[in-house]
Amino acid sequence: MKKIAILGSTGSIGTQTLDVVDITKEYEVCALSAHSNVMLMENQIRKYNPRVVSMTDEKAAADLKVRVADTSVKVLSGIDGVCECASLEEVETVVTAIVGIAGLKPTMSAINSGKRIALANKETLVTAGSIVMSEASKRNVEIIPVDSEHSAIFQSISNQREFLNKIIITASGGPFFGKSADELSDVTPEMALKHPNWNMGAKITIDSATLVNKGLEIIEAMHLFGISVDKIQPVVHRESIIHSMVEFCDGSVIAQMGVPDMKLPISYALSYPERTVPVSKPLDLVSVSKLTFYDIDNEAFPSVGLAKKAAVAGGVMCAVYNGANEAAVELFLNQRCKFNEITTLIQKAMEKCPKVINPTLNDIFMADSYAREIVKECC
């Protein structure tokens, strides 16, 4: 039994990771963390019997302690508690499934403790990719992607990184594919929360509707695979069957395919370099029948171009892109800004934020706060 910790166990990726644990019966859950969902955490403690859990919300942690007083679990709180879960001695692999930049510190703790990382929290690499990758390499820590596109790229490259010419990253196009900027002006949170192919947490579902998610993923791929952004081509692929492709120097293109089910990349990130029993329905290409591909509409969805600009600018600019987006998505979900304003607010924050070369983690957190302030002021 491989020993794992799941950070963000009550979320979409967290619960699907526990589904993979149930199906494969190959993992022992040693630690879990969540923010405030006490009821689900209690159920998970009773089912998986972890040694340690942590709730970042202090009140939730206090409530949980009372509820599970009859068990032997140790309940921690705050971000320090999550970092402790990430660095427990017995844990081999840490699944990072917290949403947002809140995942950065615990992921660094896991890396500093030499754990293998099954990385779902893309904001970690987006905000602090250079620092994270260099710390991981210093400690020989493997970062195995959970994000379906990056898992596909990782699998397609296999051991041929030296021959890699280009990455073709696929995008479902989200619920508003084909719409013009004008048609997007009255989009409500309810409309944006309906994704055609994937069932995910609220923040990433909005990111998929604005295509910010593809912007974040381009930056994530740049760091994970050490490739410049001009060699990463986003392509809309409505069916979400090809999860991404790589082109090698001889012109050969390798794609990874599968039904759109996150259990597949989660399972691979846990079992790599081996594979497990099936964790999902088989792919029936005859019933899919047709695979389609389109260019990104950069006019209706300027977020991808902005992400590329941030990646080229380097320094703290990607942290600004991410922080502004996190703040703007929250405003949109609370109906305090319009759908199209999410990208405008990101752009404003990028224009206003001072440049920092070779940032430290502290600079990154400062840039994140600054970007959030700008978004609040501008809205």
User: Is residue 153 part of the contact set for ligand NDP (CB under 6 A)?
Assistant: no
Measured CA angle at 98 (ends 92, 101), to 5 deg: 115
Region of 7-15, 43-51, 274-282, 369-377 interacting with ligand NDP (CB under 6 A) = 7-15
User: Is residue 120 part of the contact set for ligand NDP (CB under 6 A)?
Assistant: yes
Which stretch of DSSP H or E encloses residue 24? helix 12-24
Region of 10-18, 109-117, 251-259, 330-338 interacting with ligand NDP (CB under 6 A) = 10-18
Cβ proximity of 212 and 176 under 8 Å: no
Residue 183 CB, shortest distance to ligand NDP, in Å, is: 26
Buried b / exposed e across 250-276, counting CB within 10 Å, b at 16+? eeeebbbebebbbbbbbbbbbbbeeee
Residue 101 CB, shortest distance to ligand NDP, in Å, is: 9
Could you identify the residue written with the tokens 């009821």? 39
Residue 36 binding result from Mg ion, ligand NDP, none, given CB thresholds of 5 to 8 Å by partner type: ligand NDP
Nearer to ligand NDP, 181 or 201 (CB): 201
User: Is residue 34 part of the contact set for ligand NDP (CB under 6 A)?
Assistant: yes
User: Is residue 305 part of the contact set for ligand NDP (CB under 6 A)?
Assistant: no
Cβ proximity of 256 and 196 under 8 Å: no
Cβ proximity of 326 and 203 under 8 Å: yes
Cβ proximity of 55 and 41 under 8 Å: yes
User: Is residue 99 part of the contact set for ligand NDP (CB under 6 A)?
Assistant: yes
Per CB under 6 A, contacts with ligand NDP among 157-216 are: 198, 200-201, 203-204
User: Is residue 36 part of the contact set for ligand NDP (CB under 6 A)?
Assistant: yes
- Residue 224 φ/ψ region, left for φ over 0, alpha for ψ in the -120 to 50 degree band, beta for the rest: alpha
User: Is residue 256 part of the contact set for ligand NDP (CB under 6 A)?
Assistant: no
Instruction: Tell which residue, 115, 332, 46, has the closest CA to residue 212.
Output: 332
Could you identify the residue written with the tokens 């069916």? 239
- Residue 157 φ/ψ region, left for φ over 0, alpha for ψ in the -120 to 50 degree band, beta for the rest: alpha
Candidates 21, 29, 37, 348; binder of ligand NDP (CB under 6 A) is 37
Region of 84-92, 120-128, 224-232, 326-334 interacting with ligand NDP (CB under 6 A) = 120-128
How many CB atoms are located within 10 Å of the residue 226 CB?
A: 10
Could you identify the residue written with the tokens 């977020």? 303
List of residues 6+ apart from 149 with CB closer than 8 A: 169, 170, 217, 221, 243, 244
Instruction: Tell which residue, 233, 235, 240, 254, has the closest CA to residue 161.
Output: 254
Nearer to Mg ion, 220 or 368 (CB): 220
Per CB under 6 A, contacts with ligand NDP among 42-81 are: 56
Which stretch of DSSP H or E encloses residue 315? none
Per CB under 5 A, contacts with Mg ion among 123-162 are: 147-149
Nearer to Mg ion, 68 or 204 (CB): 204
Residue 227 CB, shortest distance to ligand NDP, in Å, is: 20
Per CB under 5 A, contacts with Mg ion among 228-267 are: none
Nearer to Mg ion, 73 or 118 (CB): 118
Region of 114-122, 128-136, 246-254, 349-357 interacting with ligand NDP (CB under 6 A) = 114-122
Enumerate binding residues for Mg ion (CB under 5 A).
147-149
Which residues contact ligand NDP by CB under 6 A?
A: 8-14, 34-37, 56, 82, 97-99, 102, 120-123, 147, 198, 200-201, 203-204, 262
